[in-house]
Amino acid sequence: MTSIRIPRGTQDILPGKIEKWQLIEEKARELCKRFQYREIRTPIFEHTELFLRSVGDTTDIVQKEMYTFEDRGERSLTLRPEGTAAVVRSYVEHKMFGDATQPVKLYYMGPMFRYERPQAGRYRQFVQFGVEAIGSNDPAIDAEVIALAISLYKELGLKKLKLVINSLGDKESRSAHREALVNHFKPRIGEFCSDCQNRIEKNPMRILDCKQDREHELMNSAPSIIDYLNDNSKNYFDKVQQYLKNLEIDFIVDPNLVRGLDYYNHTAFEIMSDAEGFGAITTLCGGGRYNGLTEEIGGPEAPGIGFAMSIERFIAALEAEQVKLPLKEEIDCYLVSLGEEAKDYTVGLLQKLRLAGFSADRDYLDRKIKAQFKAADRSNAKYVAILGEDELKENKINLKSMETGEQTELDLSTFVEKFAELLKKQM
């Protein structure tokens, strides 16, 4: 019989690796608490129309990468390819614009799905952590969102980071830039891929994001959005840069930075890894402002900004920089037993240790005492508690420190309490 294997573009995250994920997730939640962002959880699938209206029907995501299906009611549904649209939909649907605390600051963490060619650090199911701040036009919130992303990377040990920012301008600025792009590309659009040819009228800025034609000479000479920013857009971008400097966050302005989603305007940014050997795709995190998205989804005007980062690429960057995460892989106590009665007794003793708040384990394979000690060593146990038939009769148990080898005899009836006192002294 043929064995069933994991679908292409997905991965199993096994014990030994999952601890890195858990540490990143814990740090992200802790950081969001400091920045006052609250968690939101949205469905893994949404109505397809949500992504058509928000992400944009000229984007690669919508045209090529979405997992879309019909349910039994013949409704078109899509596994979420990104997080912002769903969060904004929830913001509108639950009337969060009426909350007393504004702007509404949210974060999410969970799987996303895109049908793209799997490669190093890129999967068809991947996990994103992202934040959204909705309800403020203050450029200081742009700087705060960027600062949160940078802080997460740095606090977990990444050093070789590069922040690239750009302004995509307001509606007026984008309209002027759009006309310039059409005039620039249209005479030679036949030299570009079919996707670019379709985008020339609908959304010519998407041409700048084309992976297939990125080396075409017209790309380097394309009109820059910076040259078409009106006073309002320019002043806004200047303020964002000023606030980033106030926060002592280094950045590079790249007029060619174009995010791959249609809802972006004004501030756009990416955080990249400069680590040697990280790979051709260096982007770790991307985000930007999306004023107008709430109206597109059917809500009132509510300007927003956010970012999303791939946990897979975060881990790849940590590995590229050889960062050793402070993983807690040890357990407090491993129970070693000798004899049937002692073994039976450890079942209840183990539960008492766990209910007292300690991480603890015991042997379940009827191994000899030497093999039990080896199992304790593999578990990185701080202490081993040894119980034999003689100790059980005398109401005693031996506690051995795995670090020093020191052994202490304790009363079995008060063992958990004495063990707690011992660990408290060591803290």
| 262 has a pLDDT exceeding 80 | no
Q: What is the pLDDT of residue 131?
A: 98
Q: What is the pLDDT of residue 239?
A: 98
Q: What is the pLDDT of residue 259?
A: 67
| 264 has a pLDDT exceeding 70 | yes
Q: What percent of the chain has pLDDT over 90?
A: 73
Q: List pLDDT tens digits, range 118-152.
A: 777 689 999 999 999 999 999 999 999 999 999 99
Q: What is the pLDDT of residue 260?
A: 59
Mean pLDDT of 9-15: 94
Predicted model pTM: 0.89
Mean pLDDT of 279-283: 79
Q: List pLDDT tens digits, range 31-62.
A: 999 999 999 999 999 999 999 988 876 677 88
Q: List pLDDT tens digits, range 158-187.
A: 999 999 999 999 988 888 888 888 888 888
| 427 has a pLDDT exceeding 80 | no
| Angle at alpha carbon of residue 79, lines to 74 and 81, rounded to 5° | 140
Flag the least confident range among 18-27, 96-105, 110-119, 286-295: 110-119
Using H for helix, E for strand and C for coil, what is the string for 192-246? CCHHHHHHHHHCHHHHHHCCCCCCCHHHHCCCCHHHHCCHHHHHHHHHHHHHHHH
Would you call 396 helix, strand, or coil by DSSP? strand
Q: What is the pLDDT of residue 119?
A: 75
Burial 35-61 (b: 16+ CB within 10 A, else e): bebeebebeebbebebbbbbbbebbbb
Mean pLDDT of 196-210: 80
Q: What is the pLDDT of residue 186?
A: 85
Site of tokens 């897979």:
312
Q: List pLDDT tens digits, range 301-339.
A: 999 999 999 999 999 999 999 999 999 889 999 999 999
Q: What is the pLDDT of residue 276?
A: 84
For residue 358, how many C-alpha atoms fall within 13 Å in the half-sphere facing its CB?
Answer: 27
Going by the DSSP 8-state scheme, the letter that residue 402 receives in this structure is T
Q: What is the pLDDT of residue 117?
A: 81
Mean pLDDT of 19-41: 97
Mean pLDDT of 250-255: 93
Q: What is the pLDDT of residue 349?
A: 97
Any residues with CB less than 8 A from the CB of 250 and at least 6 apart, and which?
163
Q: What is the pLDDT of residue 261?
A: 62
- 263: exposed, middle or buried (Cβ count in 10 Å: 0-12, 13-18, 19+): buried
More confident residue, 273 or 210: 273
Flag the least confident range among 212-221, 324-333, 390-399: 212-221
Q: What is the pLDDT of residue 366?
A: 94
| Cis amide prior to 15 (ω within 30 degrees) | no
Q: What is the pLDDT of residue 12?
A: 95
| 403 has a pLDDT exceeding 70 | yes
Q: List pLDDT tens digits, range 345-367.
A: 999 999 999 999 999 999 999 99
Going by the DSSP 8-state scheme, the letter that residue 119 receives in this structure is B
Q: What is the CA radius of gyration of the chain?
A: 28
Q: List pLDDT tens digits, range 73-91.
A: 999 999 999 999 999 999 9
Query: Could you give the domains of the chain?
Result: 18-170+230-320 (3.30.930.10), 331-426 (3.40.50.800)
217 — pLDDT class (breaks 50, 70, 90): confident
